[in-house]
Amino acid sequence: MNEDNSHWADLTDLLPDPPVKDERTQTCPSCKDVLPKVPGAKTKCPHCGEFIYVRTDPDSSSRRLVNETEAMRLEKLWTIRRPLIQSLPVNESDIQQIRLQHPEASRVDAVKLALCSLAQVYSERHMWGLFRNTYFELAEVERRTRSYDSALWYYFDVNYLDQNGADNATEFISNGAVQWIPADPEWNNNLAFRAPAVIEITLDLLNFLDLEISSAIRQYEERGEALRGSLELPLKWSNASPKVFARDES
């Protein structure tokens, strides 16, 4: 894998969406009566008077007719699917190399294996900021590939790491090659912060998955303590969670 930013690849190129299938019919999604023709845009059903919307479902990649309730659900789903990053530190050659080593691995599996390999490197070098960023990238991959539950817990990891003060590594050039050194090789709680965009998508996923914050905090505790033990984080999850979801902070 390349740590040099010049070798990064676009997220949507690495993990493209499947082609959209046109599944519109001549049937009203509300009353199920036959329509005069297949609608191409928002219209009213001549039978029941309910609005008919033409929407694309990002999960099934299908364009179909829906009622108002389903249109609102799909709008929420598009919000959940909207990426926060544009690229990943993984390129096409990385994917092909991994799939040669692991023939059973899907393209998505290969991307995740590449990121996990980078996370391991950053952990061994105590480059905690880059380690945190790689977990954020894993969360984005899971969300893009519709693994919303898995994405949620990776975002919880990122929020937890932020509260422990994940300091980034410093990039420099040595003999023409990019190298990295830890800006601070130890966790520094004085550098703790809240990333509003990460917290917002965490809350959006909780809402989408119909999970209460308090319930999710309890569910994450075992995973959080395992992460704390493996990385020797200074702050317990029980102390970090109130800061992550504090309402009076921005």
109: Cα within 13 Å, side-chain hemisphere: 10
Q: Which of 69-73, 89-93, 168-172 has the lowest mean pLDDT?
A: 168-172
Scanning 50-104, the segments in alpha helix (DSSP H) are 68-81, 92-101
State the CB neighbour count (10 A cutoff) for residue 119: 19
Give me the phi and psi of 60, to 5 degrees please.
Answer: -100, -5
Q: Tokens 């009076």 appear where?
A: 248
pLDDT band, very low/low/confident/very high, at 226 (cuts 50, 70, 90): very high
Among residues 153, 25, 133, 33, which one has the least CA distance to residue 87? 133
Q: Which of 90-94, 197-201, 243-247 has the lowest mean pLDDT?
A: 243-247
Higher pLDDT, 99 or 189: 99
Find out whether 45 and 35 touch, Cβ atoms under 8 Å.
Answer: yes
Give the three-state DSSP class for 34.
strand
Among residues 210, 74, 230, 112, which one has the least CA distance to residue 152? 210
Find out whether 147 and 15 touch, Cβ atoms under 8 Å.
Answer: no
Find out whether 134 and 90 touch, Cβ atoms under 8 Å.
Answer: no
- The two structure tokens encoding residue 165: 């003060």
Q: Which of 45-54, 98-107, 180-189, 197-206 has the lowest mean pLDDT?
A: 180-189
Give the three-state DSSP class for 62.
strand
Find out whether 51 and 44 touch, Cβ atoms under 8 Å.
Answer: yes
User: Interior CA angle at 89 toward 102 and 85, to 5°?
Assistant: 120
Query: With b meaning 16 or more CB within 10 Å and e meaning fewer, what string describes 42-59?
Result: ebebeeeeeebbbbbbbe
Residue 105 has pLDDT above 90, yes or no: yes
Question: In the chain, what are the domain boundaries?
Answer: 5-13+84-244, 18-71
Cα 65 to Cα 63: distance, rounded to the nearest angstrom: 7
Residue 113 has pLDDT above 70, yes or no: yes
Give the three-state DSSP class for 4.
coil
Q: Are strands 21-22 and 62-66 parallel, antiparallel or unpaired?
A: parallel
Q: Which residues contact 5 (CB under 8 A, 6 or more apart)?
A: 89, 178
Map 223-239 to HEC letters: HHHHHHHHHCCCCCHHH
Find out whether 9 and 87 touch, Cβ atoms under 8 Å.
Answer: yes
Does pTM surpass 0.75?
Answer: yes
pLDDT tens, residue by residue, 18-53? 899 999 999 999 999 999 999 999 999 999 999 999
Q: Averaged over 73-83, what is the pLDDT?
A: 89
